[in-house]
């Protein structure tokens, strides 16, 4: 602001108007993007969630309808949200999704933290090479990578063949179509999203803080516990959000690797949309899931804002 004022003074006229509208324009671009590609589709889904199912195209009653060509009738159907009470399947699917997402996030954190930490310990150019390797899987299609796991986990797959060849087992283990397979798939797919924000925080951290802690009597594990871990909390939270939120709504991985043995809300949603063709109910399921996922995200936002505020002071 200071420099802006200075520029204005140098130019000889206070150009407040241009400045203000320039700022608004810059803010309008992402706002417009979110409006068109996030809010509008969400409003469509919300609208469908409150309508009634029917046979036809589209497979739902419009909310607003002209009755007898004169009266505008609003049909607001809350019944779709009753699905929770009608069938415990949905609640079970939500809970199982949240559980699977939480456990996957924890596993990602436990694998990702040491990985991110050790990458920061490696000298350049090797550090960049390791970071490249973390991102490398993205160069192959997500779908193909998940399919590849079928080849590894199936009964006559790589893993079972290897274990039998080594002689650890003599019967193939039923790895595929189990929660285990889904965990493997989620952790494998989302691990980079955990490592990258963790790496960013750990890499930025002042090394002398660790030395200072040692100097004041901390053993290496105490340094980790009292200095490194608390200071990397923003990275832990960011990474966890990036894993937890998409994992909770994951459809491809439980569908391909979990089969019918794993109940996740993403699959339920797909079934309602495409098998039952009950768009209103499916939309209601989607809205509830969004709300469920929004809560942790808003908590994160709140924490982040407080952090920024503390840093600004």
Residues contributing to the site for another protein (CB under 8 A): 206, 208-209, 211-219, 222, 227, 230-231, 310-311, 313
Cα 55 to Cα 45: distance, rounded to the nearest angstrom: 18
Closest approach of another protein to the CB of residue 307, in Å: 11
Residue closer to another protein, measured from CB, 164 or 231: 231
Residue closer to another protein, measured from CB, 140 or 307: 307
Residue closer to another protein, measured from CB, 2 or 313: 313
Closest approach of another protein to the CB of residue 211, in Å: 6
Residue closer to another protein, measured from CB, 47 or 210: 210
Owner of token pair 């109940």? 263
Residue closer to another protein, measured from CB, 187 or 213: 213
Closest approach of another protein to the CB of residue 57, in Å: 58
Residue closer to another protein, measured from CB, 69 or 230: 230
Residue closer to another protein, measured from CB, 170 or 215: 215
160-170 CB burial, b ≥16 within 10 A, e <16: beebeeeeeee
């Amino acid at each position: 602001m200071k420099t802006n004022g200075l520029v204005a003074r140098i130019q000889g006229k206070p150009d407040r108007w241009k400045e203000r509208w320039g700022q608004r324009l810059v803010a309008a671009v992402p706002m417009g993007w979110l409006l068109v590609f996030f809010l509008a589709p969400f409003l469509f889904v919300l609208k469908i969630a409150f309508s009634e199912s029917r046979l036809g195209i589209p497979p739902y009653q419009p909310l607003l309808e002209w009755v007898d060509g004169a009266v505008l009738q609003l049909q607001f159907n809350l019944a779709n949200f009753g699905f929770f009470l009608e069938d415990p399947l949905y609640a079970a699917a939500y809970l199982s999704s949240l559980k699977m997402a939480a456990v996957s996030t924890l596993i990602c954190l436990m694998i990702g933290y040491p990985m991110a930490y050790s990458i920061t310990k490696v000298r350049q150019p090797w550090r960049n090479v390791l970071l490249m390797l973390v991102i490398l899987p993205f160069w192959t299609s997500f779908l193909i990578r998940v399919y590849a796991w079928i080849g590894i986990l199936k009964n006559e797959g790589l893993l079972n063949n290897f274990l039998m060849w080594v002689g650890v087992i003599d019967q193939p283990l039923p790895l595929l179509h189990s929660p285990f397979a889904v965990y493997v798939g989620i952790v494998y797919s989302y691990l980079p999203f955990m490592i990258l924000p963790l790496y960013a925080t750990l890499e930025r951290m002042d090394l002398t803080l660790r030395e200072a802690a040692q100097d004041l009597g901390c053993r290496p594990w105490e340094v980790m516990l009292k200095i490194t871990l608390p200071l990397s909390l923003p990275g832990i939270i960011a990474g966890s959000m990036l894993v937890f939120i998409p994992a909770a709504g994951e459809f491809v991985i439980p569908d391909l690797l979990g089969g019918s043995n794993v109940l996740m809300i993403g699959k339920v949603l797909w079934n309602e949309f495409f098998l039952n063709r009950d768009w209103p109910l499916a939309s209601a399921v989607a809205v509830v899931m969004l709300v469920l996922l929004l809560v942790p995200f808003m908590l994160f936002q709140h924490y982040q804002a407080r952090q920024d505020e503390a840093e600004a002071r």
